[in-house]
Each structure stands twice: as structure tokens, then as C-alpha cells.
Amino acid sequence: MRTTTGLRTLAVAMLTGATLTVTAAGGFAAAAQPTYAEGHGHGGPVRGTIVSRTPVDVRAAPTTHSAAVDRLPPGSHDRVRCMVRGQSVNGNPYWYWFTGARGWVSAAFVDTGRRSVPTCADPCPQWRNVG
């Protein structure tokens, strides 16, 4: 099935939460998303808490097939710098970069207190949208 540029833009905007505007030509344009540096969204650094009943592996890449570089016990805290899409874990495709542990943790096991986690600016572009 063929899609138009306008439909693709609309779909991307809906998935990413972008604001749409209608151009004079009648097409859609996605407004630029704000950028965040070093995990500072609204109100300072984002803290993540491990909410698993068992220790969680910190990975070298956002996939369970990657080497474990650390292990965090339940209830432990770390600063979340940013997130990428990686391998889906328990239906959640997002992975957070933990600055203290220096690795990736599946968002399925992290509570950020409903704080927004910024998308990684591209420290590891090869891991963007890994399926």
C-alpha cells in the first residue's frame, strides 16, 4: 500500500508526540521537538529506580543479547541520561542509559516517577530503532 508524505508525517508526529501545523499548501509539517541535554528535562536530572524483584543486568547495548556490564539490585537508583528504542522486553521497546552504571537498562524494569526521559542525541546511532 502506498502512503503519501503527509500521511507518513502525520503518523510520525502521532507516534512521537510532535505538534503539527498545516502549511499554506495544505500539507502537514511537524514542529521541531525541544532538545534536552544530559537527561535534564523539566526540573533537573531524571532518576530511575529498579522495580524488578530480582537484580537487573546493565547491558553494553540495548538488547538482551548484549554483554552485561553491571548488575543493579531491586530498589537501586541511578541517573537516566536518555532513551533509545531497542529490543522489546515485556512489550516495552525502550532502553535507558544509566550514567552511573554506564550502560543500558530496559525501561520495563525502571520507574522514573512519571518524568519524561529525553531521546538520546545520537551517542550510539547504530542502536536507534533496533527491533
Here the CATH number for the domain that contains residue 86 is 2.30.30.40
Asked if residue 84 and residue 20 are part of one domain, the reply reads no
Asked if residue 28 and residue 78 are part of one domain, the reply reads no
In this prediction, residue 13 carries a pLDDT of 40
Q: Which residue has the higher pLDDT, 2 or 88?
A: 88
In this prediction, residue 109 carries a pLDDT of 98
Is the entire prediction scored with pTM above 0.85? Answer: no
Asked if residue 109 and residue 47 are part of one domain, the reply reads yes
Asked if residue 123 and residue 62 are part of one domain, the reply reads yes
How close are the terminal C-alpha atoms of the chain, in Å?
A: 22
Percentage of the chain exceeding pLDDT 90: 56
Asked if residue 106 and residue 90 are part of one domain, the reply reads yes
Mean pLDDT for 26-51 is 55
Residue pointed to by grid coordinates 533509545: 84
Asked if residue 51 and residue 14 are part of one domain, the reply reads no
Asked if residue 60 and residue 9 are part of one domain, the reply reads no
Contacts of range 98-102, beta carbons closer than 8 Å, 24 or more positions apart = 98/48, 98/58, 98/72, 99/39, 101/58, 101/69, 101/70, 101/72, 102/58, 102/69, 102/70
Range of the domain at 51: 40-127
Asked if residue 25 and residue 60 are part of one domain, the reply reads no
Asked if residue 90 and residue 53 are part of one domain, the reply reads yes
**CA nearest neighbour of 6 among 33, 31, 26:** 26
40-96 confidence digits (pLDDT tens):
444 568 999 999 999 999 999 999 999 999 999 999 999 999 999 999 999 999 999
How many domains would you assign to the chain? Answer: 2
- The rounded distance, in Å, linking the Cα atoms of 107 and 89 is 8
Asked if residue 86 and residue 51 are part of one domain, the reply reads yes
